[in-house]
Amino acid sequence: MGIVKERYKMKFAKLSVMRLFQYKDFLIRAKSIGIKNLFSDDLAEAMGTTSTQVRKDFSLFGLSGNKRAGYNIDDLLEQLNELLGKNEKQRVVIVGAGNIGRALMKYSGFYKEGLEIVALFDSDINNYNASANPPVLPLESLYEFICKYKIEIGVIAVPYHAAQQVLDIMILAGIKGVMNFAPIALKSPKDFYINDVNLKLELESVAYFVKALKMEQEEQTNDV
């Protein structure tokens, strides 16, 4: 029962953190058009949630505002950046120089958010390019590279049969959390964070709900 309860708490803490990132992005957009203060109702409408949920999220992480004047955007952004670790650059390594790995490497939005892709690693000698920015290096040098540069965040974009081995190397070298694109449940210590991203399942779910909506619309038409 204790393990189930902890997982339940972790799930909802994760959802709250994800909403904090969404709040931050909206605040940046609002600031860019000259808005200085917002109320929880404004944030709730923009995020498609309730003002109660906004206040609950902020209370959970100790974020403060003013009941009369609302939230000052500059102050709230400063608090969010401190809380979300955006005041310091975080370096990331990617294992897997295939389509997903290279697409992530080219995405400039990471750097703007304080995330720097410092290297890609691959087992295929044809993909190596030590002079690229970031460099594409042999998988054999992954452990040494992570240890040398004290990297704490990794991305796994390799076939499912190689994913666990890659994760084991990352953990031994000091990685604390990964984003995993391999379609497999990976085993890790309790104090390690894994965010599983299965693009195939995500797209299949969209296709399913599109079909379900069409069927619902057809039924409504037939009932008229």
Output the domain CATH number for residue 64: 1.10.10.10
Per the structure, how many domains does the chain have? 2
List CB contacts of 89: < 8 A, sequence separation 6 or more: 114, 115, 116
* pLDDT at position 7: 43
Question: What is the per-residue pLDDT across 129-174, written as a single tens digit (0 to 9) for each?
Answer: 999 999 999 999 999 999 999 999 999 999 999 999 999 999 999 9
Instruction: Evaluate whether residue 155 is within a structural domain.
Output: yes
Pair 20, 61: CB distance under 8 Å: yes
Q: What is the pTM of this model?
A: 0.74
Please indicate, yes or no, whether residues 101 and 178 belong to a single structural domain of this protein: yes
Q: Which domain holds residue 38?
A: 2-83
* CATH code where residue 187 lies: 3.40.50.720
Q: How far apart, in Å, do the first and last CA atoms of the chain sit?
A: 50
* pLDDT at position 3: 40
Instruction: Evaluate whether residue 206 is within a structural domain.
Output: no
What would the two tokens of residue 112 be? 């703007």
Instruction: Evaluate whether residue 196 is within a structural domain.
Output: yes
Domain boundary residue among 57, 83, 109?
Answer: 83
Pair 95, 154: CB distance under 8 Å: yes
* pLDDT at position 47: 87
Please indicate, yes or no, whether residues 110 and 166 belong to a single structural domain of this protein: yes
Please indicate, yes or no, whether residues 79 and 95 belong to a single structural domain of this protein: no
Domain boundary residue among 83, 110, 139?
Answer: 83
Q: Can you list the residues of the chain whose pLDDT is less than 50?
A: 1-10
Please indicate, yes or no, whether residues 77 and 111 belong to a single structural domain of this protein: no
Query: Could you give the CA distance from residue 157 to residue 197 in angstroms, rounded to a whole number?
Result: 10
What would the two tokens of residue 156 be? 């796994």
* pLDDT at position 67: 66
Please indicate, yes or no, whether residues 32 and 103 belong to a single structural domain of this protein: no
Phi, psi of 94 (to 5 degrees): -120, 130
57 φ/ψ sector (left φ>0, alpha ψ -120 to 50, else beta): alpha
Instruction: Evaluate whether residue 208 is within a structural domain.
Output: no
